[in-house]
Amino acid sequence: MKRLNIFVVVAALLLGLSVQTEAQITEKPEFGKFAITGATIHTVTNGTIEGGVILIGGKEIEYVGQNAKITNEYTRIDASGKHVYPGFIDGWTALGLVEISAVPVTVDNRELGDFNPHMYAFTAFNPHSAAVPVTRVSGVTTVLSAPSSGIIAGKAAVMDLWGYSPDSMSVKKSGALVMNLPSSTGGGWWDDRSEEEIKKDYEREINKINEFFEKARFYDRMIKEYEKSPTGKIRPDHDPRMEAMREVLAGEVPVALTVSREQEILDAIEWTNSQEGMNFFLVGAEEGWRVAEEIAEAGLPVLTTTLYTPSRDYDNYQRPYQNPGLMAKAGVKVAIVSNDAENTRNAPFEAGYAAAYGLGQEEAIKALTINPAEIFGVADRIGSLEAGKQANLFISDGNPLQPMTKIEHVFIKGFKIPMDSRHSQLYEEFLDRDAVNR
Protein backbone atom coordinates (compact mmCIF):
# COMPACT_ATOMS: atom_id res chain seq x y z
CA MET A 1 0.00 0.00 0.00
CA LYS A 2 2.74 2.34 1.05
CA ARG A 3 4.75 1.40 -1.98
CA LEU A 4 1.84 2.10 -4.27
CA ASN A 5 1.44 5.52 -2.71
CA ILE A 6 5.04 6.35 -3.34
CA PHE A 7 4.69 5.12 -6.88
CA VAL A 8 1.66 7.30 -7.40
CA VAL A 9 3.39 10.31 -5.92
CA VAL A 10 6.49 9.80 -8.03
CA ALA A 11 4.43 9.25 -11.15
CA ALA A 12 2.39 12.34 -10.42
CA LEU A 13 5.54 14.37 -9.82
CA LEU A 14 7.08 13.16 -13.05
CA LEU A 15 3.92 13.86 -14.95
CA GLY A 16 3.63 17.26 -13.29
CA LEU A 17 7.22 18.06 -14.10
CA SER A 18 6.94 16.99 -17.68
CA VAL A 19 3.79 19.04 -18.13
CA GLN A 20 5.42 22.03 -16.50
CA THR A 21 8.54 21.71 -18.64
CA GLU A 22 6.43 21.53 -21.75
CA ALA A 23 4.50 24.62 -20.75
CA GLN A 24 7.74 26.49 -20.22
CA ILE A 25 9.11 25.76 -23.66
CA THR A 26 8.57 28.87 -25.68
CA GLU A 27 9.21 28.82 -29.34
CA LYS A 28 12.33 30.84 -30.13
CA PRO A 29 12.91 32.87 -33.25
CA GLU A 30 15.37 31.70 -35.91
CA PHE A 31 18.25 33.93 -36.89
CA GLY A 32 20.99 33.60 -39.49
CA LYS A 33 20.95 33.23 -43.27
CA PHE A 34 17.76 32.60 -45.19
CA ALA A 35 16.91 32.27 -48.85
CA ILE A 36 13.29 32.84 -49.81
CA THR A 37 12.70 31.40 -53.27
CA GLY A 38 9.95 31.16 -55.85
CA ALA A 39 7.77 33.93 -54.50
CA THR A 40 6.20 36.96 -56.11
CA ILE A 41 8.27 39.71 -54.52
CA HIS A 42 6.57 43.05 -54.02
CA THR A 43 9.55 45.33 -53.52
CA VAL A 44 7.36 48.48 -53.39
CA THR A 45 10.22 50.69 -54.62
CA ASN A 46 11.48 48.57 -57.54
CA GLY A 47 8.38 46.88 -58.90
CA THR A 48 7.28 43.27 -58.64
CA ILE A 49 9.53 40.27 -59.28
CA GLU A 50 7.91 36.96 -60.23
CA GLY A 51 9.61 33.82 -58.93
CA GLY A 52 12.37 35.88 -57.37
CA VAL A 53 14.88 35.34 -54.60
CA ILE A 54 15.44 37.20 -51.36
CA LEU A 55 18.57 36.55 -49.34
CA ILE A 56 18.64 37.50 -45.69
CA GLY A 57 21.89 37.63 -43.74
CA GLY A 58 21.61 38.53 -40.08
CA LYS A 59 19.55 41.64 -39.60
CA GLU A 60 19.65 42.75 -43.19
CA ILE A 61 18.37 41.94 -46.63
CA GLU A 62 21.40 40.93 -48.72
CA TYR A 63 19.80 40.50 -52.09
CA VAL A 64 16.49 40.97 -53.89
CA GLY A 65 16.24 39.82 -57.47
CA GLN A 66 15.71 37.16 -60.07
CA ASN A 67 18.82 35.04 -59.74
CA ALA A 68 21.18 34.40 -56.89
CA LYS A 69 23.64 31.71 -56.03
CA ILE A 70 22.31 30.11 -52.89
CA THR A 71 25.05 28.43 -50.90
CA ASN A 72 24.50 25.74 -48.31
CA GLU A 73 24.75 28.14 -45.42
CA TYR A 74 21.31 29.52 -46.28
CA THR A 75 18.16 27.98 -44.88
CA ARG A 76 15.86 27.71 -47.86
CA ILE A 77 12.22 28.75 -47.64
CA ASP A 78 10.29 27.62 -50.68
CA ALA A 79 7.65 30.27 -51.22
CA SER A 80 6.42 29.22 -54.66
CA GLY A 81 2.97 30.59 -55.28
CA LYS A 82 3.32 32.88 -52.27
CA HIS A 83 3.89 36.60 -51.94
CA VAL A 84 6.58 38.54 -50.11
CA TYR A 85 5.96 42.08 -48.91
CA PRO A 86 7.96 44.48 -46.77
CA GLY A 87 6.69 44.42 -43.19
CA PHE A 88 3.70 46.72 -42.82
CA ILE A 89 4.16 49.89 -40.82
CA ASP A 90 1.13 51.09 -38.86
CA GLY A 91 1.86 54.78 -38.48
CA TRP A 92 -0.56 55.67 -35.71
CA THR A 93 -1.25 53.36 -32.77
CA ALA A 94 -1.26 53.21 -28.98
CA LEU A 95 0.30 49.75 -29.09
CA GLY A 96 2.52 49.07 -26.09
CA LEU A 97 1.13 52.14 -24.32
CA VAL A 98 -2.46 51.05 -23.78
CA GLU A 99 -2.99 47.48 -22.65
CA ILE A 100 -6.68 47.61 -21.70
CA SER A 101 -8.26 50.95 -22.55
CA ALA A 102 -11.04 50.67 -19.91
CA VAL A 103 -8.54 50.01 -17.11
CA PRO A 104 -6.88 53.37 -16.36
CA VAL A 105 -3.83 51.87 -14.63
CA THR A 106 -2.91 50.18 -17.91
CA VAL A 107 -3.24 53.37 -19.97
CA ASP A 108 0.12 55.10 -20.47
CA ASN A 109 -0.53 57.37 -23.43
CA ARG A 110 -2.12 60.32 -21.62
CA GLU A 111 0.22 62.31 -19.39
CA LEU A 112 -1.11 65.31 -17.47
CA GLY A 113 -0.24 68.80 -18.67
CA ASP A 114 -0.63 70.79 -21.88
CA PHE A 115 2.98 70.95 -23.11
CA ASN A 116 4.90 67.69 -22.79
CA PRO A 117 7.48 67.48 -25.58
CA HIS A 118 9.77 65.69 -23.12
CA MET A 119 7.40 62.71 -22.68
CA TYR A 120 8.61 59.72 -24.69
CA ALA A 121 6.32 56.89 -25.79
CA PHE A 122 9.60 54.97 -26.06
CA THR A 123 9.87 54.98 -22.24
CA ALA A 124 6.42 53.53 -21.55
CA PHE A 125 6.35 51.11 -24.49
CA ASN A 126 5.72 47.68 -22.99
CA PRO A 127 7.63 45.10 -25.07
CA HIS A 128 5.62 42.35 -23.33
CA SER A 129 2.16 43.66 -24.20
CA ALA A 130 -0.06 40.73 -25.22
CA ALA A 131 -1.03 42.77 -28.27
CA VAL A 132 2.53 42.85 -29.67
CA PRO A 133 2.64 39.21 -30.85
CA VAL A 134 -1.03 39.42 -31.92
CA THR A 135 -0.05 42.34 -34.16
CA ARG A 136 3.22 41.08 -35.64
CA VAL A 137 1.89 37.70 -36.79
CA SER A 138 -0.53 39.68 -38.99
CA GLY A 139 2.37 41.13 -40.97
CA VAL A 140 2.48 44.49 -39.19
CA THR A 141 6.13 44.51 -38.17
CA THR A 142 6.56 48.12 -37.15
CA VAL A 143 4.35 50.73 -35.50
CA LEU A 144 4.39 54.33 -34.49
CA SER A 145 3.28 54.35 -30.88
CA ALA A 146 1.86 57.74 -29.99
CA PRO A 147 0.91 59.61 -26.82
CA SER A 148 -2.31 61.59 -27.15
CA SER A 149 -3.21 64.10 -24.40
CA GLY A 150 -2.92 67.87 -23.99
CA ILE A 151 -1.66 70.25 -26.68
CA ILE A 152 1.82 68.78 -27.09
CA ALA A 153 1.28 65.16 -26.04
CA GLY A 154 4.89 64.03 -26.30
CA LYS A 155 7.06 62.10 -28.72
CA ALA A 156 5.81 59.09 -30.60
CA ALA A 157 8.27 56.25 -31.19
CA VAL A 158 8.80 54.06 -34.26
CA MET A 159 9.04 50.53 -32.87
CA ASP A 160 9.76 47.14 -34.41
CA LEU A 161 7.59 44.42 -32.89
CA TRP A 162 10.32 41.97 -31.94
CA GLY A 163 12.55 42.38 -28.91
CA TYR A 164 12.71 42.45 -25.15
CA SER A 165 13.34 46.15 -24.51
CA PRO A 166 12.33 49.45 -26.07
CA ASP A 167 16.04 49.95 -26.84
CA SER A 168 16.26 46.80 -28.96
CA MET A 169 12.90 47.47 -30.63
CA SER A 170 13.18 51.12 -31.45
CA VAL A 171 13.70 52.19 -35.05
CA LYS A 172 13.51 55.84 -34.06
CA LYS A 173 12.99 56.99 -30.51
CA SER A 174 11.70 60.38 -31.61
CA GLY A 175 9.43 59.41 -34.50
CA ALA A 176 7.21 62.47 -34.25
CA LEU A 177 6.14 65.22 -31.89
CA VAL A 178 2.41 64.79 -31.30
CA MET A 179 0.42 67.99 -31.28
CA ASN A 180 -3.32 68.51 -30.84
CA LEU A 181 -4.17 71.88 -32.34
CA PRO A 182 -7.25 73.60 -30.87
CA SER A 183 -10.42 73.54 -32.96
CA SER A 184 -11.92 76.76 -34.26
CA THR A 185 -15.21 75.10 -35.17
CA GLY A 186 -16.81 74.20 -31.85
CA GLY A 187 -17.53 70.78 -30.51
CA GLY A 188 -21.00 69.84 -31.78
CA TRP A 189 -24.42 70.01 -30.17
CA TRP A 190 -23.15 69.80 -26.59
CA ASP A 191 -20.86 72.80 -27.12
CA ASP A 192 -22.95 75.77 -25.98
CA ARG A 193 -20.32 78.47 -26.56
CA SER A 194 -21.25 81.32 -28.88
CA GLU A 195 -19.35 81.76 -32.14
CA GLU A 196 -17.49 84.66 -30.61
CA GLU A 197 -16.48 82.64 -27.56
CA ILE A 198 -15.27 79.81 -29.76
CA LYS A 199 -13.17 82.26 -31.78
CA LYS A 200 -11.76 83.82 -28.62
CA ASP A 201 -10.92 80.45 -27.10
CA TYR A 202 -9.21 79.40 -30.30
CA GLU A 203 -7.09 82.55 -30.50
CA ARG A 204 -6.10 82.24 -26.86
CA GLU A 205 -5.00 78.64 -27.39
CA ILE A 206 -3.08 79.44 -30.58
CA ASN A 207 -1.33 82.32 -28.82
CA LYS A 208 -0.35 79.95 -26.02
CA ILE A 209 1.14 77.58 -28.59
CA ASN A 210 2.97 80.36 -30.42
CA GLU A 211 4.44 81.63 -27.15
CA PHE A 212 5.67 78.14 -26.36
CA PHE A 213 7.37 77.81 -29.75
CA GLU A 214 8.92 81.29 -29.43
CA LYS A 215 10.29 80.35 -26.04
CA ALA A 216 11.66 77.11 -27.47
CA ARG A 217 13.39 78.98 -30.29
CA PHE A 218 14.88 81.44 -27.85
CA TYR A 219 16.17 78.57 -25.69
CA ASP A 220 17.63 76.88 -28.73
CA ARG A 221 19.45 80.07 -29.81
CA MET A 222 20.68 80.65 -26.29
CA ILE A 223 22.15 77.13 -25.99
CA LYS A 224 23.75 77.41 -29.42
CA GLU A 225 25.32 80.75 -28.56
CA TYR A 226 26.62 79.37 -25.29
CA GLU A 227 28.02 76.23 -26.88
CA LYS A 228 29.75 78.25 -29.62
CA SER A 229 31.80 80.22 -27.07
CA PRO A 230 31.08 79.44 -23.40
CA THR A 231 33.84 81.71 -22.08
CA GLY A 232 32.54 84.63 -20.12
CA LYS A 233 28.90 83.53 -20.46
CA ILE A 234 26.55 82.23 -17.79
CA ARG A 235 25.61 78.64 -18.49
CA PRO A 236 21.80 78.54 -19.13
CA ASP A 237 19.70 76.35 -16.82
CA HIS A 238 18.68 73.03 -18.29
CA ASP A 239 15.01 72.93 -19.28
CA PRO A 240 13.82 69.42 -20.30
CA ARG A 241 10.78 70.75 -22.16
CA MET A 242 12.78 73.24 -24.17
CA GLU A 243 15.59 70.75 -24.70
CA ALA A 244 13.10 68.26 -26.16
CA MET A 245 11.96 70.89 -28.67
CA ARG A 246 15.40 71.40 -30.19
CA GLU A 247 15.38 68.33 -32.47
CA VAL A 248 11.89 69.36 -33.60
CA LEU A 249 12.93 72.93 -34.40
CA ALA A 250 15.92 71.56 -36.30
CA GLY A 251 13.53 69.62 -38.56
CA GLU A 252 14.93 66.27 -37.48
CA VAL A 253 11.66 65.15 -35.89
CA PRO A 254 8.38 65.86 -37.71
CA VAL A 255 5.38 67.34 -35.95
CA ALA A 256 2.15 65.32 -36.14
CA LEU A 257 -0.91 67.58 -36.16
CA THR A 258 -4.13 65.83 -35.25
CA VAL A 259 -7.05 67.29 -37.20
CA SER A 260 -10.40 66.03 -38.45
CA ARG A 261 -12.68 68.61 -40.04
CA GLU A 262 -12.21 70.82 -43.05
CA GLN A 263 -11.77 73.99 -40.99
CA GLU A 264 -9.32 72.32 -38.62
CA ILE A 265 -7.21 71.22 -41.58
CA LEU A 266 -7.22 74.75 -43.04
CA ASP A 267 -6.31 76.19 -39.63
CA ALA A 268 -3.46 73.71 -39.35
CA ILE A 269 -2.16 74.65 -42.81
CA GLU A 270 -2.28 78.32 -41.86
CA TRP A 271 -0.41 77.65 -38.63
CA THR A 272 2.31 75.56 -40.28
CA ASN A 273 2.83 78.36 -42.81
CA SER A 274 3.62 80.68 -39.91
CA GLN A 275 6.35 78.34 -38.66
CA GLU A 276 9.82 77.93 -40.11
CA GLY A 277 12.32 75.11 -40.33
CA MET A 278 10.06 72.33 -39.12
CA ASN A 279 8.46 69.33 -40.82
CA PHE A 280 4.77 68.56 -40.36
CA PHE A 281 2.24 65.92 -41.22
CA LEU A 282 -1.48 65.59 -40.53
CA VAL A 283 -3.16 62.76 -38.61
CA GLY A 284 -6.84 61.95 -39.06
CA ALA A 285 -7.96 64.41 -41.71
CA GLU A 286 -11.29 62.62 -42.16
CA GLU A 287 -12.43 65.61 -44.21
CA GLY A 288 -9.19 65.81 -46.12
CA TRP A 289 -11.03 65.14 -49.40
CA ARG A 290 -12.82 68.47 -49.00
CA VAL A 291 -9.51 70.38 -49.05
CA ALA A 292 -7.22 67.90 -50.78
CA GLU A 293 -5.72 70.54 -53.13
CA GLU A 294 -4.85 72.79 -50.20
CA ILE A 295 -3.17 69.93 -48.30
CA ALA A 296 -1.17 68.97 -51.39
CA GLU A 297 -0.12 72.57 -51.99
CA ALA A 298 1.05 72.86 -48.38
CA GLY A 299 3.12 69.69 -48.92
CA LEU A 300 1.70 68.01 -45.86
CA PRO A 301 1.62 64.19 -45.77
CA VAL A 302 -1.44 62.62 -44.11
CA LEU A 303 -1.98 59.58 -41.91
CA THR A 304 -5.57 58.42 -42.04
CA THR A 305 -8.05 55.54 -41.68
CA THR A 306 -11.10 54.48 -43.69
CA LEU A 307 -13.42 52.46 -41.46
CA TYR A 308 -15.58 55.10 -39.81
CA THR A 309 -19.03 56.53 -40.52
CA PRO A 310 -19.23 59.69 -42.70
CA SER A 311 -18.30 62.81 -40.76
CA ARG A 312 -21.43 64.64 -41.85
CA ASP A 313 -24.87 63.13 -42.18
CA TYR A 314 -25.28 64.60 -45.67
CA ASP A 315 -22.08 63.07 -47.02
CA ASN A 316 -22.11 60.09 -49.37
CA TYR A 317 -21.62 56.78 -47.55
CA GLN A 318 -18.38 56.11 -49.48
CA ARG A 319 -16.48 59.27 -48.45
CA PRO A 320 -14.49 57.71 -45.60
CA TYR A 321 -13.40 54.91 -47.95
CA GLN A 322 -12.61 57.37 -50.76
CA ASN A 323 -10.80 59.93 -48.63
CA PRO A 324 -7.26 58.47 -49.00
CA GLY A 325 -7.68 58.02 -52.76
CA LEU A 326 -9.02 61.52 -53.27
CA MET A 327 -6.15 63.03 -51.30
CA ALA A 328 -3.55 60.92 -53.13
CA LYS A 329 -5.02 61.97 -56.47
CA ALA A 330 -4.51 65.60 -55.49
CA GLY A 331 -0.86 64.83 -54.78
CA VAL A 332 -0.89 64.21 -51.03
CA LYS A 333 1.41 61.52 -49.65
CA VAL A 334 -0.94 59.21 -47.72
CA ALA A 335 -0.25 56.58 -45.09
CA ILE A 336 -3.02 54.30 -43.79
CA VAL A 337 -3.12 53.61 -40.07
CA SER A 338 -5.28 51.65 -37.65
CA ASN A 339 -5.48 54.28 -34.89
CA ASP A 340 -5.86 51.33 -32.56
CA ALA A 341 -3.88 49.49 -29.91
CA GLU A 342 -4.97 45.86 -29.59
CA ASN A 343 -6.38 45.69 -33.12
CA THR A 344 -3.50 47.34 -34.91
CA ARG A 345 -3.57 44.14 -37.00
CA ASN A 346 -6.53 45.60 -38.91
CA ALA A 347 -4.52 48.33 -40.65
CA PRO A 348 -4.29 46.19 -43.85
CA PHE A 349 -8.09 46.06 -44.11
CA GLU A 350 -8.36 49.82 -43.62
CA ALA A 351 -5.97 50.03 -46.56
CA GLY A 352 -8.04 47.45 -48.45
CA TYR A 353 -11.03 49.76 -48.35
CA ALA A 354 -8.89 52.67 -49.52
CA ALA A 355 -7.60 50.48 -52.37
CA ALA A 356 -11.10 49.43 -53.43
CA TYR A 357 -12.43 52.98 -53.37
CA GLY A 358 -9.90 54.84 -55.48
CA LEU A 359 -6.41 54.53 -54.00
CA GLY A 360 -5.66 51.29 -55.87
CA GLN A 361 -3.71 48.22 -54.78
CA GLU A 362 -0.20 49.51 -55.37
CA GLU A 363 -0.68 52.86 -53.63
CA ALA A 364 -2.48 51.17 -50.74
CA ILE A 365 0.55 48.94 -50.18
CA LYS A 366 2.78 52.03 -50.28
CA ALA A 367 0.48 53.62 -47.70
CA LEU A 368 1.44 50.79 -45.34
CA THR A 369 5.16 50.66 -46.16
CA ILE A 370 7.35 53.24 -47.87
CA ASN A 371 5.07 56.23 -47.29
CA PRO A 372 5.01 56.05 -43.48
CA ALA A 373 8.72 55.18 -43.53
CA GLU A 374 9.44 58.37 -45.48
CA ILE A 375 7.13 60.47 -43.30
CA PHE A 376 8.97 59.35 -40.15
CA GLY A 377 12.40 59.65 -41.79
CA VAL A 378 13.27 55.95 -41.55
CA ALA A 379 13.00 54.99 -45.22
CA ASP A 380 16.74 54.27 -45.33
CA ARG A 381 16.09 51.30 -43.03
CA ILE A 382 12.53 50.02 -43.58
CA GLY A 383 9.53 50.34 -45.89
CA SER A 384 10.66 48.36 -48.95
CA LEU A 385 12.46 45.21 -50.01
CA GLU A 386 15.95 46.38 -50.96
CA ALA A 387 19.42 45.04 -50.32
CA GLY A 388 20.93 46.77 -47.32
CA LYS A 389 17.63 47.47 -45.61
CA GLN A 390 16.51 45.87 -42.40
CA ALA A 391 14.99 42.41 -42.97
CA ASN A 392 11.39 43.30 -42.06
CA LEU A 393 9.12 41.27 -44.31
CA PHE A 394 6.37 38.69 -44.44
CA ILE A 395 5.25 35.84 -46.67
CA SER A 396 1.52 35.55 -47.38
CA ASP A 397 -0.65 33.15 -49.36
CA GLY A 398 -2.33 36.02 -51.22
CA ASN A 399 -3.10 39.71 -51.26
CA PRO A 400 -2.51 40.89 -47.68
CA LEU A 401 -5.26 43.51 -47.96
CA GLN A 402 -7.82 40.68 -48.19
CA PRO A 403 -9.32 39.55 -44.87
CA MET A 404 -9.15 35.84 -45.84
CA THR A 405 -5.44 35.93 -46.71
CA LYS A 406 -3.11 34.18 -44.28
CA ILE A 407 0.30 35.41 -43.20
CA GLU A 408 2.65 32.44 -43.07
CA HIS A 409 6.08 33.76 -42.04
CA VAL A 410 7.25 37.05 -40.57
CA PHE A 411 10.79 38.39 -40.33
CA ILE A 412 11.62 41.34 -38.12
CA LYS A 413 15.22 42.63 -38.14
CA GLY A 414 16.21 39.27 -39.60
CA PHE A 415 14.53 37.28 -36.82
CA LYS A 416 12.14 34.70 -38.23
CA ILE A 417 9.62 35.07 -35.47
CA PRO A 418 7.40 32.36 -33.98
CA MET A 419 3.93 32.58 -35.50
CA ASP A 420 2.06 32.38 -32.24
CA SER A 421 0.23 34.80 -29.99
CA ARG A 422 -2.34 34.69 -27.22
CA HIS A 423 -4.99 34.29 -29.89
CA SER A 424 -3.46 31.27 -31.59
CA GLN A 425 -2.48 29.71 -28.25
CA LEU A 426 -6.06 29.91 -26.97
CA TYR A 427 -7.17 28.38 -30.27
CA GLU A 428 -4.79 25.44 -29.85
CA GLU A 429 -5.93 24.91 -26.27
CA PHE A 430 -9.68 25.21 -26.74
CA LEU A 431 -10.50 23.93 -30.25
CA ASP A 432 -10.90 20.46 -28.74
CA ARG A 433 -10.90 21.44 -25.08
CA ASP A 434 -11.50 18.08 -23.44
CA ALA A 435 -9.00 16.09 -25.47
CA VAL A 436 -6.28 14.45 -23.37
CA ASN A 437 -2.80 13.21 -24.18
CA ARG A 438 -2.66 9.43 -24.34
Partner 1 sequence: MLFQTELFMNLRETKMKKLITLIALVAFGFTAKAQEKGSVLIQNATVITITNGDLEETDVLIRDGKITEIGKDLRAPRGVETVDATGKYVMPGIIDAHSHLNGVDINEARNVVTAEVTMEESVDPNEVGIYHALAGGATTIHLMHGSANVIGGQGETLKLRYGASQEGMKFENAPRTIKFALGENPTRVHGQGNGVQPRTRMGVEQVIRNHFDEALDYKRKREAYFEAQSLYDRRGKGTPPVPVAKNLRYEVLNDIIEGDILVHCHSYRADEILMLMRVFNDYGIKNYTFQHANEAFKVAPELAKNGAHTSVFSDWWAYKFEVYYSTAYNASILNANGVINSINSDNDQLLRTLNHEAAKVVRYGNTSVNDALKMITLHPAIQLGIDDRVGSIEEGKDGDVVIWSGHPFDIYSKAEMTFVDGTKYFDLENDPDDMRIHINPGTEFEDGANFRRIVDNREENTCLQDAFILFGEQSAQAQN
Q: Which of residues 255-294 bind partner 1 (CB under 8 A)?
A: 258, 260-261, 263, 283-284, 286
Interface with partner 1, residue 235, by CB under 8 A: no
Taking CB under 8 A as the criterion, the residue among 4, 20, 23, 104 binding partner 1 is 104
Span from 57-65, 72-80, 214-222, 417-425 in contact with partner 1 (CB under 8 A)? 417-425
Instruction: Sort strands 302-304 and 280-284 into parallel, antiparallel or unpaired.
Output: parallel
Interface with partner 1, residue 401, by CB under 8 A: yes
24-63: contacts with partner 1 (CB under 8 A): none
Interface with partner 1, residue 398, by CB under 8 A: no
Give me the least distance between CB of 262 and partner 1, in Å please: 8
129-158: contacts with partner 1 (CB under 8 A): 130-131, 148
Taking CB under 8 A as the criterion, the residue among 341, 347, 368, 378 binding partner 1 is 341
Taking CB under 8 A as the criterion, the residue among 40, 45, 126, 185 binding partner 1 is 185
Q: Are 110 and 152 in contact (CB under 8 A)?
A: no
298-317: contacts with partner 1 (CB under 8 A): 304-305, 307-317
Task: Give 272 or 346: the residue with its C-beta nearer to partner 1.
Answer: 346
Q: Report how far apart, in Å, the C-alpha atoms of 321 and of each of 14, 315, 354, 414 are.
A: 58, 12, 5, 35
Task: Give 132 or 417: the residue with its C-beta nearer to partner 1.
Answer: 132
Interface with partner 1, residue 96, by CB under 8 A: no
Interface with partner 1, residue 195, by CB under 8 A: no
Number of residues that bind partner 1 (CB under 8 A): 72
Taking CB under 8 A as the criterion, the residue among 276, 431, 437, 438 binding partner 1 is 431
Task: Give 70 or 107: the residue with its C-beta nearer to partner 1.
Answer: 107
Span from 11-19, 117-125, 167-175, 422-430 in contact with partner 1 (CB under 8 A)? 422-430
Give me the least distance between CB of 233 and partner 1, in Å please: 42
